Chains A and B, each alone.
Chain A
Amino acid sequence: MSLVKVIIDNIEVEVESGTTILNAARKIGGSVVPPAMCYYTKLEGSGGYCRSCLVKVAQGSAKDPRPMPKLVPSCRTTVQDGMVVQNITSPEVMDNRRAITEFLLLNHPLDCPVCDQAGECHLQDLSYVHGLEETRTTEERRTFEPIDIGDKIKLNMNRCILCYRCVKVADQLTDQRVHGVLGRGDHSEISTYILKAIDNDFSGNMIDVCPVGALTDKTFRFKSRVWYTNPMDAHRECSKCGGKTVLWMKGDEVLRVTGRKDKYGELEEFICNDCRFEKKNPNEWIIEGPRKIERHSVISQNHYEKLLIEENNPKIKIEK
């Protein structure tokens, strides 16, 4: 692999050829990273749908310095040597991102007060940075008839932004996909084939990859707001997956188990449904300590420290 030099928002970075603009920006980090609502590093062929990561290519490459005629999806465009990319430095990109946010919110129910995803929702983050203060639409939002997709996962189609991540999880992680996108246009919906339940050892990962509250954990439903819980890194011996998880605890109760997400909200490792849904007793886990949560996240406002947790909850023992 040869290395290529790219300039993103006036910052030069060297990456392997074949890297996408998005991943080159992630290598720089900070505010030059475009938001990604549908791209997911671990899912092959993801990205390109939500258009929130569109960036401007001011110079195609050192060989061919022409700018690209349209904004390009940074998650699906590979870098060329000498490419010059504008993200937050381009007013055009920022204006479009505002519009994309508006499109994504257009039919979104905005029911954050009753949504389990609130606090860890990518759409919330996106609208916080790029959204308008008030809505420009007076039209009725489209709604779907609720359908039941099984006893573990709750589907709320009204919140879905059709990122196709869950479809790709089912395609690439499970042995058979029983759900997909039915219909067309703004009436396309995530649905199962003839009301089949989604039941597979790894189907729970659909919840973790969902950027919004369209797929949530039924075992955690309405139990607590995430920012009232203490996320703890934990692991256990598991025959199906790596067993490395985060326990979302309140007192000495495990309210929810999820995979470990990095700062872009992507899972470090997929976990199995046993770990996710069945192991809610803290004694079944070896707790490593508090999960590091980004400072800006609402979850981190719930200051939790190792000592404090042990004092208040004598049952929990944190491995040194």
Chain B
Amino acid sequence: MAKQILLNNINVPGLASYEVYRKLGGYSAVEKTLKNYTPDEVTAEVKKSGLRGRGGAGFPAGMKWGFIDKSTDNPRYFVCNFDESEPGTFKDRHIGQLNPHQLIEGMILGSYALGARSSYIYIRGELFYVLRIIEKAIDEAYRNGFLGENILGSGYSLDLHCHPGAGAYICGEETALIESLEGKRGNPRIKPPFPAIVGLYNCPTVVNNVETIANLPWIMNNGADAYAAIGIGNSNGTKLISACGHINKPGIYEIELGLPVKEFIYSDEYCGGILNGKKLKAVVAGGSSVPVLPAELILRTANGEPRLMSYESLSDGGFQSGTMLGSGGFIVMDETACIVKNLLTFSRFYHHESCGQCSPCREGTGWIEKILYRIESGKGSMKDIDLLTDIAKHIEGNTICPLGDAAAWPVASAIRHFREEFEDHIKLQRCPLSK
């Protein structure tokens, strides 16, 4: 059994309540840290642990904290990004719903490290029932002295708020999240300046993913070295993978980074193989925005080495033959899945969720969807394929925020690896896989 940090006690009944969480050793990290560590020491510890952002980009969390502007007297803010809405990703909801106190404990530790006096959990609007659970947990934490004035007599005070969004995917982008939190339209800001300098209410702000924050109590309890010992290379610790698609056991799994992809898909401990014994066709390894890979490239890298579930191994070969770990939304497709139709679904999503601020993404995502719809319904022409590649190329890198990239990568990769399937759609004037 692999090391469990986040899902260790997840099946304990009543874990969402303060009493059960406390009995299992909860909030001991807060007690230990507020007593024995200065804020800078916490940051140093997180840096040493090599914890990387779990929201998708994999940016080292400690380094992100280090960027925060300490030269001003302005208040600092620590914000948790709970706007999980990438197709295929459903890991954060699991933590929020079943183990909210671990998230709150992480929030206290992060806020302490950054010197924040008010912190926010920005939760996706659709997850209103999770908001209720978290708010109840926050109340319990207040009642037991872990939030509010003078926590545990340490002199450190913190207010924690949970704020629901209105269900926009774009508000998962950190500056759009900040705008939305301020009560404005959720449009991403133009960077620089970055939130660490000018963030929430124009004050220095750090935004971290739920899973990143939920790792903090374990790191402070067991030490950075113990955390760094888990995993492989620069991919330290464990990662939640939400596996879905044509597999026998869809669900949320905590893996040690470095697990071979083959083992993850086929072993009974995890996905349990492909549904009905069919053949693996393709995998989207990290949520809908990362490039799709065909079976031969997801199991082995272009150099013939076994592909591992880690930031480095999955991105081995660049976008030519690799992909990204992303947010951990692991979508498996068997031989009956139509790549074009799947891509159309993704593209419809990005078209729907584009904020409309900058022109390449606003116009390009809609254009891609319309062309894909044409191809899928048998009305495409051969030059549409190159047109799609061209559109994707000109969205990528030209937009204000990464949503444009996220919309372009699946298109470019699907055509790169499955061009024949697009051509078949056009030649047959229908989907070759439909009866």
Chain A residues engaging chain B, CB cutoff 8 angstroms: 48-52, 54, 70-71, 73, 76, 95-96, 99-100, 103-104, 106-107, 136-137, 139, 142, 161-162, 164, 180-181, 183-188
Contact = CB atoms under 8 A, between A and B. Distances in A.
Contact of B190 (A48, A71, A180): A48
B356 interface: yes
B399 A51 contact: yes
B358 A51 contact: yes
B357 A103 contact: no
B363 interface: yes
Contacts of A185: 351-356, 362, 365-366
What 9 pairs between A and B have smallest CB-CB spacing? A99-B394, A188-B356, A185-B354, A103-B363, A48-B190, A139-B370, A106-B363, A186-B366, A185-B356
A181 B370 contact: no
B398 A162 contact: no
A49 B366 contact: no
B398 A104 contact: no
Nearest to A37: B359
Contacts of B399: 51
Contact of A104 (B354, B363, B387, B400): B363
Interface in B193-243: none
A136 B387 CA distance: 8
Nearest to B370: A139
B169 to A, nearest CB: 10
A103 B365 contact: no
Given A106-B367, A136-B387, A139-B367, A184 B397 contact: no
Interface residues of B, number: 30
A184 B400 contact: no
Contacts of B351: 185-186
A50 B359 contact: yes
B359 A100 contact: yes
Given A100-B398, A184-B353, A107 B358 contact: no
8 contacts: A48-B190, A51-B358, A99-B394, A100-B398, A162-B362, A164-B357, A184-B355, A184-B356
A295 B99 CA distance: 69
B115 to A, nearest CB: 29
B60 interface: no
A181 B356 contact: yes
A262 to B, nearest CB: 24
B168 interface: yes
B185 interface: yes
Contact of A184 (B354, B391, B394): B354
Contacts of A180: 185
A103 B356 contact: no
Contact of B359 (A137, A161, A181, A183): A161
A137 B390 CA distance: 13
Given A50-B358, A51-B358, 4 more contacts: A49-B358, A162-B356, A181-B185, A185-B366
Given A71-B397, A181-B185, A162 B357 contact: yes
A73 B390 CA distance: 21
A82 B362 CA distance: 35
B291 interface: no
Contacts of B358: 48-51
B363 A186 contact: yes
A161 B363 CA distance: 10
B66 interface: no
B364 interface: yes
Nearest to B381: A138
A49 B359 contact: yes
B360 interface: yes
A103 B398 CA distance: 12
A102 to B, nearest CB: 8
Contacts of B394: 95-96, 99-100, 103
Contacts of A106: 363, 366-367
A137 B388 CA distance: 11
Interface in B369-387: 370-371, 387
B172 to A, nearest CB: 14
A186 B354 contact: yes
Contact of A51 (B168, B354, B370, B398): B398
Contacts of A76: 190
A99 B355 CA distance: 19
Interface string B277-315: 000000000000000000000000000000000000000
Contacts of A100: 359-360, 394, 398
A186 B360 contact: no
B359 A73 contact: no
Of listed A52, A95, A183, A188, residue having the most chain B CB within 10 A: A188
Interface in B246-262: none
A107 B400 CA distance: 20
Contacts of A70: 397-398
Nearest to B379: A138
B125 to A, nearest CB: 14
A66 to B, nearest CB: 15
Contacts of B359: 49-52, 100, 103-104, 161-162
Task: Tell which of B185, B355, B359, B367 has the most Cβ of chain A within 10 Å.
Answer: B359
Contacts of A103: 359-360, 362-364, 367, 394
A180 B170 CA distance: 19
A139 B384 CA distance: 12
A104 B355 CA distance: 15
Interface string B325-354: 000000000000000000000000001111
B410 to A, nearest CB: 17
Nearest to A107: B363
Contacts of A51: 358-360, 398-399
Interface string B147-182: 000000000000000000000101000000000000
Contact of A54 (B170, B353, B391, B398): B398
B175 to A, nearest CB: 12
A142 B366 contact: yes
A186 B362 CA distance: 5
Contacts of A107: 363, 366
Contacts of B170: 184
B123 to A, nearest CB: 19
A164 B190 CA distance: 14
A180 B357 CA distance: 13
A38 B357 CA distance: 11
Nearest to A77: B192
